[in-house]
Amino acid sequence: MWGYVPYLLRKANQKITLNILKINSMQNIFSDRIADVPRSFIRDILKIAVQSDVISFAGGLPNRNLFPVEQLQASTNKVFENFGRQALQYAESEGLPQLREFIANEYRTKKGIDVDPNRVLITNGSQQGLDLLAKTILNEGEDVVLEEPGYLGAIQSFSVFKARFTQVKMNEDGIDCDALDKALEKTRAKLFYCVPNFQNPSGITYSTKVREKVAGIVDKYLTLLIEDDPYGELRFSGNVEPSFGKLLPHKTVMLGSFSKTVVPAFRLGWMVLPDAIYERVIVAKQAADLHTNSFSQYIVAQFLQDYPLSNHIELIRKVYGDQCKAMIASIKECFPKGVHCTEPEGGMFLWVTLPDGISSMELFEIALKNKVAFVPGNPFYADARNVSSFRLNFSCVDEATIRIGVKRLADSIDELLKMKR
């Protein structure tokens, strides 16, 4: 019997070797487009942070306790009763008309923008909007201007299309306008992508003055401005700022999402597109998936008809505002001197900056040992520098847990600083 064991081990090793050879032989099958695109750093972190004893500030997750489960269940039942088989059929590429009308009306009533429902395209999350724009606008090697730090999902999406990135630094009141002007003049970039409300990752909001300057700058060039606004409704302090869709309507694409205000699982987002590019983006959408999940569109449209969205958003604002205050207060109490953080007026994130020369990646490794997770700053930079900043999410952790997690993080920073002395 025991003489049979080495035989089994030899066979197992042979099988492993064959599998490695098969994998290596497949490397040449991949397109140049995908070969150098990095994995999502956050998605990989989330796999680590799901351990029950780890406090995670890493994900950009809405608070699951606020999902309107009972209302969505009732809306789903109504969809079956009222629409039945129609809701389960193929649908038009542009999206459900009543949902597009709701979105257009929200822009009219809340932002004073006269949006034509026929310029609204329902997408598979606002992330698909980035993909469709890149497919429609970018050729390999063409330029895109981003914020620095910038949303890593945009960096990943545009990387698929071999874009060249220029990042422009953020100030406390928004992007550096002089640097943006120089970047657009130098690169003649086709796209400028920004998150002007409670920016991901920094939490910074563009002031009205900065927005007006940006609109004037972009208007000088053959550049399309992408205003990604998934967090705009989640303002818990301060004043609402004007949309680029109002300041620069003929050159602005507005992206939005129900992921942060209803639920993320339906993957329902939208684009409001200028006339000049609408038809071409529709073609890209049809080639990608024919249409966004129509059953989910029916459910959300029914939910929005039966339950005032403003009431639900007000609840989210209250909870997120309290959680943000708890995190900032804990940081001010526990973090050592020389560590700074932004103080957002809404959204889901804040940005912490360590003393110069202190690596957030090194801190990440120590923090994980201390059972707390965050996102190091590197993925938010197109050139993946070893930066001294990192992102914290406050939306999906209760106030008591926030205080415990920040204390663990403070201890981790102290440990790292002692190592550097």
Reported as a single tens digit per residue, the pLDDT across 212-251 is 999 999 999 999 999 999 999 999 999 999 999 999 999 9
The answer to whether the CB of 261 falls within 8 A of the CB of 303 is no
Name the segment(s) of the chain with CATH classification 3.90.1150.10.
Answer: 41-67+311-420
Chain-centroid distance of CA 9 in Å reads 47
The answer to whether the CB of 340 falls within 8 A of the CB of 16 is no
Average pLDDT of adjacent 10-residue blocks, the chain of 421 residues: 45 54 65 73 65 86 96 98 96 97 97 97 97 97 97 94 97 98 98 98 98 98 98 96 98 98 97 97 97 98 97 97 98 96 98 95 95 94 89 96 98 93 73
Give the pLDDT confidence of 148-189 residue by residue, as tens digits. 999 999 999 999 999 999 999 999 999 999 999 999 999 999
Q: Kindly state the tokens that stand for 264.
A: 């993320």
Q: Which fold has domain 41-67+311-420?
A: Aspartate Aminotransferase, domain 1 (3.90.1150)
Q: Treating both helix axes as pointing N-terminal to C-terminal, what angle do 125-137 and 152-159 enclose, rounded to 10 degrees?
A: 40
Q: In this predicted structure, what is the pLDDT of residue 2?
A: 40
Name the segment(s) of the chain with CATH classification 3.40.640.10.
Answer: 88-306
Q: Kindly state the tokens that stand for 263.
A: 């639920």
Q: In this predicted structure, what is the pLDDT of residue 383?
A: 86
Q: How many residues does the chain have?
A: 421
Q: Quick one: which H or E segment has residue 75?
A: helix 69-82
Q: Which fold has domain 88-306?
A: Aspartate Aminotransferase; domain 2 (3.40.640)
Handedness of CA 181, 183, 185, 190 (dihedral sign): negative
The answer to whether the CB of 315 falls within 8 A of the CB of 277 is no
Q: How many CB atoms lie within 10 A of CB 114?
A: 11
- Amino acid identity at 318: K
Q: pTM to 2 decimals?
A: 0.91
CA distance 102 to 96: 10
Q: Which residues contact 203 (CB under 8 A, 6 or more apart)?
A: 342, 343, 344, 347, 349, 350, 351
Q: How many CB atoms lie within 10 A of CB 194?
A: 27
Strand-strand pairing, 55-56 and 372-373: parallel
The 3-state DSSP class for residue 269 equals: strand
Q: In this predicted structure, what is the pLDDT of residue 68?
A: 98
Q: Any alpha helices (H) in 219-339, and if so which ranges?
A: 244-247, 275-289, 294-306, 309-334
Q: Kindly state the tokens that stand for 59.
A: 């994900």
Buried b (16+ CB within 10 A) or exposed e, 278-304: beebbebbeebeebbebbbbbbbbbbb
Q: Kindly state the tokens that stand for 150.
A: 């910038």
The 3-state DSSP class for residue 345 equals: coil
Q: How many CB atoms lie within 10 A of CB 257?
A: 24
Cα–Cα distances (Å) from 93 to 124, 134, 258, in that order, read 11, 18, 18
